[in-house]
Amino acid sequence: MSREMSPIEKAKFVAAKQATEHVESGMKVGLGTGSTAEWFVQCLGEMAREEGLKIKGVPTSKRTGLLAQKVGIEVITLEEAKWLDVTIDGTDEYDSDLTLIKGGGGAHLREKVVATASERMIVIADASKKVEALGAFPLPVEVIPFGLPVTQGLIEETLIGMDVLGREVTLRMKGDVPFVTDEGNFILDLHLKRIANPRQLSLVINQIPGVVENGLFIDICDAVIVGHGDGRVTTRDITDNTANVVRFDVLDDDNIFADVAD
């Protein structure tokens, strides 16, 4: 089934397509979670079928793992891989320093572990994810279920001393029950509006008993590939201080788009 793509969908796809330039046969690749990362996995599957690409993928979520297997990518665990050549993942926000907020899909714990076990992390995104200051997107904090009210109270108390504009903390829900991560934990979303000092906030939050990991990715991302609705893709690499622009012709009737949306 084919369908017309929105500009945002086109932007996500061309970013994912450009990211495949960083993948070669024989690599061990971290596979991110989320809508943009799913496009990347689909592109890798197409390359495996049509070009004979052979890689081993380490998924950051059960959902990504199932998709990778479906499109023909060999899936292994991080324990089996030990070290990865590259991780390619999406983001919910990023700033000029390539500091990220991730975790909208509830997988930031695994995403951070996989990214830091990689030679490089490359983020793929549409242009709307670029922000002047992080915090408009709620900051996810993964916490253990035991003692949840205590942990939440400690986080709320800690935020009083932080340079943020908002301090609301909410438990992420899935219908009428708490959302549960692949690791069996809960997520508290911190509605901060603006984070003046992400590094300080990350360090302080992670010291609170009951907190497993927060969604701030600091000094982890090496490059960002940004897609645009007109087919343009801009790449910024902070490791060698380079930037470039390419353009793709996107056909709305390409079946890969329908597959990702299903």
Report the number of distinct structural domains present in the chain.
2
pTM: 0.92
pLDDT in tens, 210-260: 999 999 999 999 999 999 999 999 999 998 888 898 888 876 544 443 444
Binding residues for substrate: 33-36, 89-92, 102-105, 129
Residues 166 and 188 in one domain: yes
Helices (H), the chain: 7-19, 35-51, 62-70, 78-81, 108-116, 148-159, 198-206, 255-261
Buried b (16+ CB within 10 A) or exposed e, 172-208: beeeeeeeebbeebbbbbbbbbebeebeebbebbeeb
CA distances from 237 to 99, 210, 226, 242 (A): 13, 35, 11, 5
Q: Residue 199's domain spans which residues?
A: 139-215
Residues 191 and 82 in one domain: no
Residues 145 and 202 in one domain: yes
Query: Is 122's pLDDT higher than 50?
Result: yes
Give yes or no for a contact between 118 and 163, defined as CB atoms under 8 angstroms apart: no
Residues 216, 139: Cα–Cα separation, whole Å: 7
- How is residue 10 written in tokens? 């086109």
Whether 2 is covered by a domain: the verdict is: no
Residues 120 and 229 in one domain: yes
Query: Is 262's pLDDT higher than 80?
Result: no
Residue 9 designated active-site: no
Residues 237 and 156 in one domain: no
Residues 24, 1: Cα–Cα separation, whole Å: 30
Residues 179 and 247 in one domain: no
Residues 149 and 69 in one domain: no
Residues 210 and 232 in one domain: no
Give yes or no for a contact between 18 and 225, defined as CB atoms under 8 angstroms apart: yes
Rounded to the nearest integer, the mean pLDDT of the chain is 94
Query: Is 3's pLDDT higher than 80?
Result: no
Whether 33 is covered by a domain: the verdict is: yes
Residues 23, 41: Cα–Cα separation, whole Å: 11
Among residues 9, 111, 142, 213, which one is catalytic?
111
pLDDT in tens, 15-37: 999 999 999 999 999 999 999 99
* CATH number of residue 50's parent domain: 3.40.50.1360
Query: Is 202's pLDDT higher than 70?
Result: yes
Higher-confidence position of 5 and 235: 235
**Residue 84 corresponds to which amino acid?**
L
Whether 18 is covered by a domain: the verdict is: yes
